[in-house]
Structure 1
Amino acid sequence: MKLLDYFKLGWDQLKRRVVVTLLCTMGIAIGSASIVVALSFGESINQYSRTQMSLYLKSDEITVTSGGRAEGADPNDPNSAKPYELTKAKIGMMRTFPYIKALATYRTLNQFEFEVDSKKGYIDQIFATELDTLPAFGYELQQGGPSEQENTIILSYGATMGLFDSQISKARQQQLQSMSERDARNAWREQQYIAYPVYQKQIVLKPQIYRSNDVGETVDIQIPVRVVGILKKPEGVPDDMLIHQKTAFVSPALGKRLQEAIIQMNGGKVKEDKNSSQTAEYNEVKIKVDSSAHVKELESLLKKLKLTVQTNLHREESMQNELLIVRLIFGGAGVFILFVASISIIVAMTMSTYQRRRQIGIMKVLGANLGQIRNMFMVESALLGLLGGLVGILVSYWVIWGINIAIMQFAPPRSGAQSEILFISPWILPVGLFFAIMTGVLSGIYPAIKASRTDALTAIKRD
C-alpha cells in the first residue's frame, strides 16, 4: 500500500466516526493551544522585559570608574589614589582592547532648567560626552545631529514635552474651571504630552542647586546653547513614562564649563589642577562591546588597570533564569494537558480496534500483513493529531486576541504604549503542531499493535 492509500483509509475512518473524531480533536487542540499560548507568554514577556531593560540597562555596555584607594592607604596623601584613578593614559590603553565597538567619556550633571520662547522646561540629567559616539551607543536622532560648535546640545524627546507657559497656563486654568474634574485632568495630561519644537532654537540653561533644606533653587546663571539635535522617540514607550525621561547631551568642553559654573554658584573655588575630580571633563567611561558574550573577557582586562568595572550582564542572566522558570511552568501545563488528551486518543482508538475487528479480519484474509494494519492505525492517529494541532493553533490565536482585548479594556489607557502585549512568534506554530502530531502518533502505537495482533478467523466468526 502507498502512503496516499493509508491517508485515504485513515481519513475515511475519521469521517465515519464523527463524534469520536471531534472529541479527540478537541482534546489535542486544547493541549496544543496550551503549549502555543504558554510559549507565546514566555516569548512576549521575554521581549517586553528586554525592551524595558534596554531603556535603562544594556547588557553589552560596560561602565568604568576610578578604583578608589588601596587598603591601608593614607586618605590625606593625594598620591595614594593615583594608581587607581581613571586617567587619559588608561583610556588610551582601553582603546586598544579587543571587542570594543565604541568608547566614550562621560560626566553627569544634574538638575537644569531651560527657557525657550517664553516657555520653561527642565532637564534631569545632562551627559557631557563625545557627541559623535551617540549612534554607536544606540541613540537614534529624529532631527539634526552632532555639531563641531561648542555651545550646542542634543535633547531627548521627553525633554521637549510638557513645557510650561505662564500665559497659556492662566488661560487654560480659566477654561478648566468650567470642566469636570475628570475632563480637566485629561486636558492637563494631553497638554503635558505635547512636544514643543525646539530644534535649531537657542535655549538658556539655568542650573538648579539644593540648599540644606532640600529646596531647589534656580540661581541667576544663564548659559545659552543651541539645540542641534532631538533624539528619536522610543518605540513602545508610553507617553506617561517618556515625559519623565528628560535628558540631554553636550560636549565634554561644555560639560566642564557647566561643572565650573555649578561649583562657583555654590560658593566654591575651581581648582587649577586639570586632573581634579571637580573640573575634569569626565568621571567615567562607557564602553560598547560588539557582543554581550565578550563582556566578561573584557571586564577582566579592565580590572587589571585597577579600575572599578560595572556591567548589567548578571541582571540579564538573572532575568533569563526567571523567565525560563515561567516558560517551564507554562510549558509543563501544556504538556500535561496533551498527556490527558493522549489518554482519550488511546481509549478511542482501542475502542475503534474492538469495533473494527471484522474489517481487520477481512483485510488479513485478503492478504494484508501486520505492518500494513499497524501503519493504517498509526496514520489515522497522526491525522487526528494534525487536525487537533490545526484547531489548536486557531484556538491559541483566539485566546491571545482575547487576552489582549482584556488588557486594553481593563488597563488604563497610555498614550504611545503598544496596542498588543502578547503575540505569537512564527517559530511557535510548528512547535505546537509537532507536539500535536507526536501526541497522536504516540497515542496510536498501542491500538495499532493490538489491531495487528487480532486473529482473522476468530474476528470473522464472532462478528
Structure 2
Amino acid sequence: MKLRDYVRLGWDQLKRRVVVTLLCAMGIAIGSASIIVALSFGESINQFSKQQMYEFLKSDEISVRAGSGPESQASGDPNAAKPYELTKSKIDIMRNFPHIKALSTYRTLNSFNLKLDTKEGNLYEIYATELDTLGDFGVELQQGGPSELENTIILSYGATMGLRDELASRQPVSYQNEQEAREAWRIQRTITLPMYQKMVTLVPQRFGEYGSDGTGIPVRVVGILKKPEGLSDEMISNQKIAYVSPALGKRLYDAQLETNGGKPRPGRDGEASANAEFDMIKLKLTDSSHVKEVEGLLQKLKVSVETNLHREEQIQSQLTIVRIIFGGAGLFILFVASISIVVAMTMSTYQRRRQIGIMKVLGANLGQIRNMFMVESALLGLLGGLVGILTSYWVIWAINIVIMKFAGNSGPSSDEVLFISPWILPLGLFFAIMTGVLSGIYPAVKASRTDALTAIKRD
C-alpha cells in the first residue's frame, strides 16, 4: 500500500466517526493552541523587555570614566596615584573599536538657574556634549533640533514645567488650609511654558560661602525633548536636564567657578571636570551582544567601564523561566489530549475487529495494519493542529484587545502587544502531529495483534 492509500483509508475512518473525531481534534487543538499561545507570550514578553531595556537600561551602551591606578587600589590611599584620565588620544582609539555605532563625550554640570523674562526655574543637570549625536543615543525631540550655533540649548520637557513668576511670588496669597496650599503648589509645578526659540538665561548657583551672585549667560532654546510616556506630570517635572555644546559647557563651568570663588562643585563634576574637557564618554554599540568584547578592549586603556549587561542577563534568565513555564503548561495540555486519542483509537480497534480480520485474511501484514492506524492518528493530529493554529490567532487577537482597552494611553504605542512569530506555527503543528502519532502507537500495535479468525467468528 502506498501512502495515499493509507491517507484515504484513515480519512474515511475519521469521517465515519464524526463525533469521536471532533472530540479528539478539539483536545489536540486546545493543546496545540496552548503551545502556540504560550510560546507567543514568551516571545512577546522577550521582545517587549528588550525594547524596554534598550530604552531605559540602555544595554547596548557603555559609559566610560577615568580609571584608577593599580597603586591606589592596592594601598587604599586615593592620593597615592592620580586617576588614569580620559584623553583625546584614547578617544581616537575608541572610535576605531569594532561594533561602535556612535561615540560622544560628556561633561556634567549641576545647579543652574533658568530664567525666562520674569519667571525662574532650575536645571538639575546640564550635559555638555556633541548635540548632533543625541539621536544616535535614543534622545528624541518634540520640537526643534541641534544647532551649529554655540549659544544654544536643548531642554527636557520637564525643564519647561514649574517655572516660578518672581512678580507673582511677591504678592501674598492666603489659603484656607494646608491641603489647598499643597494642591496649588502641585498645579504650579506641572504648568508648562512654551520655550521653544525663546532666549533664556543660565545663572550658576552658589554652593559655598565664597563668591557673589552668578553672572547669567543668555542662550537660545533650539530644541525640546519629547515628553516621556507612561509617567505622571509630577514625575516629569522632576526631570530638569539640558544639553549644550562642549564650548558652551566650558563657559558655564568657568562661570560656575567664578561664582563660587574658584572652587569646583564637590562631586562628579568637581576636580575631574577641572582637569579635563569631559568627565564621561558614551559608546553606542551596534548590538548588546558585543558589549563584553568592547569592554575587554576598554579595560586595556586603564579606564572605568559601566554597562547594564548584567541586568540584561538577569532579566533574560527570568524570561527564560517564564517561557519554560508557559511551554510546560501547553505540553501538559497536549499530554491530557493525547490520553483521549489513545482511548478513542483503542475503542476503534475493538469496533473494527472484523475489518482488521478481513484485511489479514486478504493478505495484509502486521506492518500495514500498524501503518493504517498510525496514519489515521497523524491525520487526527494534523486536523487538530490546524484548528489549534486558527484558535491561537483568535486568542491572541482577543488578548490584544483586552490589553489595549485596559492599558489606555499608558500602554504600549503599538496596536499589537502580543504576536505570533512565524517559527512558532510549524512548531505548534509539529507537536500536534507528534501527539497524534505517539498516541496512536499503542492502538496500532494492539490492532496488528488482533487474531483474524477470532475476530471474524465473533462478529
TM-score bracket for this pair, using the shorter chain length:
0.7 to 0.9
- Equivalent residue for 1:347? 343
- State the alpha-carbon separation in 2 of the partners of residues 416 and 42 from structure 1: 17
- State the alpha-carbon separation in 2 of the partners of residues 406 and 210 from structure 1: 52
Deviations 1:247-306 (A, max 9, x none): 4322111122223333444454469xxx95243431011122333333222222222222
- State the alpha-carbon separation in 2 of the partners of residues 52 and 252 from structure 1: 30
Q: Does 1:249 align with 2:243?
A: yes
Residue identity matched to 2:232: D
Shift of 1:325: 0.9
Contact 1:240 1:414 in 2 (8 A): no
Contact 2:214 2:256 in 1 (8 A): no
Shift of 1:162: 5.0
Contact 1:240 1:415 in 2 (8 A): no
Residue identity matched to 1:277: A
The verdict on how the C-alpha distance between 1:61 and 1:353 changes in structure 2, with shifts beyond 3 A counting, is same
- State the alpha-carbon separation in 2 of the partners of residues 443 and 209 from structure 1: 80
Residue identity matched to 1:81: K
Counterpart secondary structure, 1:424 = coil
The verdict on how the C-alpha distance between 1:390 and 1:161 changes in structure 2, with shifts beyond 3 A counting, is farther
* 2:252 corresponds to which of 258, 268, 276: 258
Q: Does 1:42 align with 2:45?
A: no
Contact 1:108 1:128 in 2 (8 A): yes
- Equivalent residue for 2:314? 318
The verdict on how the C-alpha distance between 1:37 and 1:255 changes in structure 2, with shifts beyond 3 A counting, is same
Shift of 1:320: 0.9
- Equivalent residue for 1:14? 14
Does 37-46 or 391-400 show the bigger shift?
A: 391-400
- Equivalent residue for 2:82? 81
- State the alpha-carbon separation in 2 of the partners of residues 161 and 44 from structure 1: 36
Deviations 1:202-224 (A, max 9, x none): 34445567799xxxxxx775433
Shift of 1:74: 5.8
Give TM-score, length-normalised by structure 1.
Answer: 0.79
Counterpart secondary structure, 1:81 = coil
- State the alpha-carbon separation in 1 of the partners of residues 132 and 310 from structure 2: 29
Q: Does 1:393 align with 2:389?
A: yes
Q: Does 1:277 align with 2:272?
A: yes
- State the alpha-carbon separation in 2 of the partners of residues 405 and 50 from structure 1: 22
The verdict on how the C-alpha distance between 1:331 and 1:124 changes in structure 2, with shifts beyond 3 A counting, is farther
How well do the aligned residues superpose, as a CA RMSD in angstroms?
3.8
* 2:199 corresponds to which of 190, 198, 202: 202
Residue identity matched to 2:339: I
Gaps (5+ residues) in structure 1? Answer: 170-180, 213-218
- 1:52-451 aligned within 5 A: 52-68=52-68, 70=72, 71-72=74-75, 75=78, 80-82=81-83, 84-110=84-110, 114=114, 123-140=123-140, 144-156=144-156, 158-159=157-158, 198-206=195-203, 222-231=216-225, 237-238=229-230, 240=232, 243=236, 247-269=241-263, 276-279=271-274, 280-408=276-404, 414=410, 417-418=413-414, 420-451=416-447
Counterpart secondary structure, 2:62 = strand
Shift of 1:3: 3.3
Counterpart secondary structure, 2:350 = helix
Residue identity matched to 1:355: Q
- State the alpha-carbon separation in 1 of the partners of residues 200 and 127 from structure 2: 17
Shift of 1:2: 4.0
Aligned residue pairs, count: 433
- Equivalent residue for 1:177? none
Does 275-284 or 449-458 show the bigger shift?
A: 275-284
The verdict on how the C-alpha distance between 1:370 and 1:330 changes in structure 2, with shifts beyond 3 A counting, is same
Shift of 1:152: 1.7
- State the alpha-carbon separation in 2 of the partners of residues 346 and 374 from structure 1: 14
The verdict on how the C-alpha distance between 1:161 and 1:146 changes in structure 2, with shifts beyond 3 A counting, is closer
- State the alpha-carbon separation in 1 of the partners of residues 113 and 58 from structure 2: 28
The verdict on how the C-alpha distance between 1:458 and 1:62 changes in structure 2, with shifts beyond 3 A counting, is same
- State the alpha-carbon separation in 2 of the partners of residues 456 and 40 from structure 1: 49
Residue identity matched to 1:309: V
Contact 2:214 2:259 in 1 (8 A): no
Gaps (5+ residues) in structure 2? Answer: 169-179
Residue identity matched to 1:374: R
The verdict on how the C-alpha distance between 1:256 and 1:446 changes in structure 2, with shifts beyond 3 A counting, is same
- State the alpha-carbon separation in 2 of the partners of residues 420 and 211 from structure 1: 54
Contact 1:29 1:391 in 2 (8 A): yes
The verdict on how the C-alpha distance between 1:31 and 1:121 changes in structure 2, with shifts beyond 3 A counting, is farther
Counterpart secondary structure, 2:64 = strand
Counterpart secondary structure, 1:305 = coil
